[in-house]
Amino acid sequence: MPAGTLYRGREGMWSWVAHRVTGVLIFFFLFAHVLDTALVRVSPQAYDSVIQTYKTPLVNLMEYGLTAAILFHALNGLRVVAVDFWAKGPKYQKQMLWTVVGVWVVLMAGAFYPILQHTLRTWFGG
Amino acid sequence: MATEISDSIVVPSAQAHTGQGLGTGNPADAFVVEPARTRTKKTPRRTRTNFEMLAWLFMRLSGVVLVVLILGHLLINIVLDGGVSKISFAFVAGKWASPFWQGWDLLMLWLAMLHGSNGMRTVINDYAEKDSTRLWLKLLLGAATVFTVLLGTLVIFTFDPNI
């Protein structure tokens, strides 16, 4: 550990870093998302045209990335709650992080086709 | 003579770091520091409210509710029933015809914006070292948050499917 730093590395620090990075990303998306949804008050055409952007392959992939960020933030957030409120939380924080990662991998694998099906169907038919 | 305080010597905070005035004659007492979280009835209240504790509690309570609201939102909008393909003005109109989904989206908007905004406040406090930078970033954050929450609320309440 370098001198003069509070950063301690390992599961505790890196989950904190990932929680912070995903949180900031989600927050900026939330701004954009409220603004694009506000177009329903302009006209159906204005809303549908911006939603077309959400259906392009690149943005569709970004939706999968957003889901990845949200899912990690959600699962790790529950871990933080457990660390703070469950008496044995601090003792098992590492095991809980790897549980979070495991559940995250499984759910992200399961979400791959459902979320990207619009792009996959456009590319490969079906 | 018995004393009620046995585990630490409580000294006025102005003297806590120096140990001046303890008068024990023991050189080690020059380094006595008041335990960080010791509070007594005589401890002055620094602020009028427990704002930071309430913010900490809000992050955990809103977080648990948001897990349900946002994962449900993602499931219905971009996972189930063809994914993003089905999203259109008509889809939104169909959802907001029901007070249940209006309420869901309204609660999600408010909790997510306040949760995210408070998180950003923490990030700003951590990294912006200059007082004026911190102030301006937080004012900008506050203005953006108020604008977004009010805009979103207005959109949900004034939505017109026959526009």
Domain boundaries, chain A: 10-124
**Using CA atoms, how far apart are residues A55 and A116, in angstroms rounded to an integer?**
9
Among residues B64, B57, B62, the alpha carbon closest in space to that of B115 is found at B62
> Does B83 share its domain with B31?
no
Name every residue whose Cβ is closer than 8 Å to that of residue A80 and which is 6 or more positions away in sequence: A19, B60, B63
Q: pTM here?
A: 0.82
Taking contacts as CB-CB distances below 8 angstroms, the residues of chain B near A33 are: none
Q: Which residues of B49-73 are buried (b: 16+ CB within 10 A; e: fewer)?
A: eeeeeeeeeebeebbeebbebbbeb
In-domain check, residue B100 = yes
In-domain check, residue B130 = yes
Q: Do B155 and A77 touch (CB under 8 A)?
A: no
| B70, B84, B88 ranked by CB distance to A63: nearest | B84
% of chain B residues with pLDDT over 70: 75
Q: How far apart are the first and last CA of chain B?
A: 83
Residue A105, min C-alpha distance to chain B (Å)? 16
In-domain check, residue B2 = no
Residue A40, min C-alpha distance to chain B (Å)? 7
Range of the domain at B36: 8-44
Give me the interface pTM, i.e. the ipTM. Answer: 0.92
* pLDDT at B14 exceeding the cut of 50: no
* pLDDT at B130 exceeding the cut of 80: yes
Give the number of other CB atoms < 10 A from CB of residue A43.
12
Domain count within chain B: 2
Looking at residue B141, which CATH number applies to its domain? 1.20.1300.10
In-domain check, residue B14 = yes
Helix and strand numbers (H, E) in chain A are 4, 0
Q: What is the mean pLDDT of residues B122-141?
A: 96
> Does B125 share its domain with B91?
yes
> Does B40 share its domain with B104?
no
> Does B66 share its domain with B39?
no
In-domain check, residue B1 = no
| A34, A70, A74 ranked by CB distance to B109: nearest | A34
* pLDDT at A69 exceeding the cut of 90: yes
Say what the pLDDT of residue B39 is.
72
* Model pLDDT for residues A1-58, shown as the tens digit of each residue: 556 677 778 899 999 999 999 999 999 999 999 999 999 999 999 999 999 999 999 9
In-domain check, residue B163 = no
* pLDDT at A107 exceeding the cut of 70: yes
Top-level CATH class of A10-124?
mainly alpha
In-domain check, residue B26 = yes
Q: Do B88 and A30 touch (CB under 8 A)?
A: no
